[in-house]
């Protein structure tokens, strides 16, 4: 009998796929973790309460449509519940969008650089990626997107990893001209000035994806959602796994959403720390993009005045050796000279700057 070889049986686009590489999650304590844009503050204490109560009902399946959470999100955004879909993290929502609107003859597009999960989801679909490159000022390449021919286009705003956000007036114009589905991935929008949710009524082709992982401090629970037209949500609902969001996650997200005071307070603290961090980086003379997210993207400079790929790689290693984790993206000319640093607490940022100060190339 022929030897069993799963690679011969799997889809060629899956055997050729490189998996998404998440940021490191160290298992031991003692790290200053500024690498995965988590919120440094705990979630609202109402979350623990809600989870405790939900534990009594764990023998029952969750609501398959996350009905109460959908309704709460619909009230929050002032839309009909039929325009909201909830997912197992916004990654699940992005996956639903790729599965519904992209395939071998349905190209998907995104800007470069942006979220490195998009190529993986496109690869699983076997779809042709259509890439629209940023210039070094990270200006929206609107004309290129308009005529790129993608069936669905993903625009991360605020952008990852730079933190630059695109104004609604530019997104408005783009949504009116782009003939396919335009997804605005707003994972970081609660740290920004405006959201494209305000544009949804004007543009039935617009989808806004959001997450509870960042501003609500619930990365460990996995809840995301999208707001779109009824017709788009109805399609995504056909593709969605029937119990895609568990009971604990639905209850936790509802509780977090209700506690506006806690959410506003922690966002305010992060914004204040971001402002101080930007000032300190400017003091070092490092170019840092204007961030509307809970991270900054900065270009380290050696004492010799040299910056570039080797400086960024060297500082990344130096920080890691000192148990300070940040994120480095060496594979793109626009990102190779920069480090992405999550905004933590003030004392975490002090630790980051202490380590920068002792960087041998800074001496």
Question: What residues line the site for ligand PLP (CB under 6 A)?
Answer: 37, 89-91, 115, 156, 160, 185, 187, 211, 213, 219, 224
Please state the closest distance from residue 228 (CB atom) to ligand PLP, in A.
16
Comparison of 263 and 301: residue with beta carbon closer to ligand PLP: 263
DSSP β-ladder status, 181-185 and 152-156? parallel
- Tokens, residue 340: 């992405």
- 176 alpha carbon, distance to own chain's centre: 24
Q: With beta carbons less than 8 A apart as the criterion, state whether 323 and 30 touch.
A: yes
Please state the closest distance from residue 37 (CB atom) to ligand PLP, in A.
5
152-156: strand order across its sheet: 84-87, 224-227, 206-211, 181-185, 152-156, 108-112, 129-133
Question: How far apart (Å, rounded) are the C-alpha atoms in residues 104 and 93?
Answer: 20
Please state the closest distance from residue 9 (CB atom) to ligand PLP, in A.
30
Q: With beta carbons less than 8 A apart as the criterion, state whether 154 and 118 touch.
A: yes
Question: How far apart (Å, rounded) are the C-alpha atoms in residues 197 and 319?
Answer: 38
Please state the closest distance from residue 185 (CB atom) to ligand PLP, in A.
5
Comparison of 210 and 247: residue with beta carbon closer to ligand PLP: 210
Q: With beta carbons less than 8 A apart as the criterion, state whether 217 and 39 touch.
A: yes
Question: How far apart (Å, rounded) are the C-alpha atoms in residues 334 and 205?
Answer: 30
Please state the closest distance from residue 232 (CB atom) to ligand PLP, in A.
18
Question: How far apart (Å, rounded) are the C-alpha atoms in residues 23 and 21?
Answer: 7
């Amino acid at each position: 009998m022929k030897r069993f070889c799963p690679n011969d049986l799997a889809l060629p686009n899956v055997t050729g796929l490189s998996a998404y590489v998440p940021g490191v999650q160290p298992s031991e304590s003692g790290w200053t973790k500024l690498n995965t844009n988590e919120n440094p503050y705990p979630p609202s204490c109402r979350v623990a309460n809600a989870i405790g109560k939900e534990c009594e009902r764990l023998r029952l399946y969750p609501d398959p449509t996350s009905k109460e959470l959908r309704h709460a999100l619909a009230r929050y955004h002032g839309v009909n519940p039929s325009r909201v879909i909830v997912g197992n993290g916004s990654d699940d929502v992005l996956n639903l969008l790729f599965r519904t609107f992209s395939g071998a003859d349905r190209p998907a597009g995104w800007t470069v650089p942006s979220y490195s999960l998009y190529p993986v989801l496109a690869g699983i679909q076997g779809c042709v990626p259509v890439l629209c490159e940023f210039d070094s000022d990270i200006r929206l390449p609107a004309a290129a997107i308009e005529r790129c021919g993608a069936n669905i286009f993903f625009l991360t705003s605020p952008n990852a990893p730079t933190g630059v956000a695109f104004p609604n007036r530019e997104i408005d114009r783009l949504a009116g001209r782009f003939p396919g589905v335009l997804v605005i991935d707003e994972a970081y929008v609660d740290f920004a000035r405006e959201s494209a949710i305000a544009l949804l009524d004007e543009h039935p082709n617009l989808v806004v994806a959001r997450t509870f992982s960042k501003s609500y401090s619930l990365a460990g629970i996995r809840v995301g959602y999208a707001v779109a037209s009824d017709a788009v949500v109805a399609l995504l609902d056909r593709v969605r796994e029937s119990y895609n969001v568990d009971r604990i996650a639905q209850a936790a997200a509802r509780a977090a959403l209700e506690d506006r005071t806690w959410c506003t307070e922690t966002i305010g603290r992060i914004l204040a720390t971001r402002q101080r961090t930007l000032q300190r980086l400017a003091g070092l003379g490092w170019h840092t993009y204007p961030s509307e997210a809970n991270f900054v993207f900065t270009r380290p400079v050696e004492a010799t005045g040299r910056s570039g790929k080797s400086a960024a790689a060297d500082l990344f290693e130096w920080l890691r050796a000192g148990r300070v984790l940040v994120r480095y993206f060496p594979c793109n000319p626009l990102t190779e000279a920069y480090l992405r640093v999550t905004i933590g607490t003030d004392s975490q940022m002090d630790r980051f700057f202490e380590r920068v100060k002792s960087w041998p190339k800074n001496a």
